Amino acid sequence: MTAVLAAALALAAPVPPAPPLPEDAQTLVKQLGDADAKTRNEAATKLRLLARRVDRFGGQRVRRGEEFEPKVTGLVPHLIRAAGDEDEWNRATVLFALADTLDPVAVAAIRERLTDRSEKVRFTAACLLTEFQDASGLDVMKDALTRFRAAPKAAGTFDVEMLLASFERVTGKSFGAIPPNPVITSDSDVAAASEKRYGELLATWAAWWAWTPGK
């Protein structure tokens, strides 16, 4: 048998079915369709830990350690379906889970959420895409920058931190270290300094985008 014929036969062979999900994962997948939004959110959060290939934390999505194999394979299609949950918080939660899988199909599903009816979901999708050097959500992030500067008290510090880190990833630029999120410190002076610095960084990015040719 020639090498070419062997390769052709291999391609024509049926793909073996994926192994069934473990019982605990099956239970969580079923809960993604529960009538209670909180139950669906909890299920998505637990599935994220089973499906992820990377450990990221905080608003800056700092990566801890190297890429690893997921605890359970075959969960990405279920998470993609859950990205259409009727609850905006659940859709946003699922986007984080999809990003942590590092699956190209999951990235495409995140990109689809750039047109979501929810401002929060669009913003989350735009920022997460920058982890894959995908700037297709840049206009969404610029809109968020305008909002955050116009109403700094209404802007959550987690979202501000996430936006600042996303701008750095997608441009390769930095205007100085992003300080720790104010909510993680019990020192009011440190929190106030962080909030002040967040405002300064937002202003700097706004000026840079206004100046940058081809923006």
> Taking the chain (215 residues) in consecutive chunks of 10 residues, what is each chunk's mean pLDDT?
48 57 96 98 98 96 96 97 97 98 97 98 98 97 96 89 97 93 82 91 96 70
DSSP symbols for 98-115: HHHHT-HHHHHHHHHGGG
Which pLDDT value is given to residue 215? 58
User: Which pair of tokens denotes residue 147?
Assistant: 């909002």
Which pLDDT value is given to residue 155? 85
Which pLDDT value is given to residue 116? 98
Burial 140-168 (b: 16+ CB within 10 A, else e): bbbebbebbeeeeeebebebbbbbbbbbb
Helices (H) and strands (E) in the chain, counts: 10, 2
User: Which pair of tokens denotes residue 127?
Assistant: 């920022």
Terminal-to-terminal C-alpha distance of the chain: 57
Nearest residue to 163 via CA among 138, 200, 183: 138
Structure confidence by residue, pLDDT tens digits, 130-160? 999 999 999 999 999 999 999 988 888 999 9
* Whether the Cβ atoms of residue 145 and residue 157 lie closer than 8 Å to each other: no
- Tell me the C-alpha distance between 198 and 206, whole Å: 12
Which pLDDT value is given to residue 18? 63
Which pLDDT value is given to residue 15? 45
Nearest residue to 58 via CA among 153, 210, 164: 164
Which pLDDT value is given to residue 181? 86
- Tell me the C-alpha distance between 133 and 171, whole Å: 9
Which pLDDT value is given to residue 165? 97
Amino acid at 23: E
- Tell me the C-alpha distance between 19 and 142, whole Å: 43
The total number of residues shown for the chain amounts to: 215
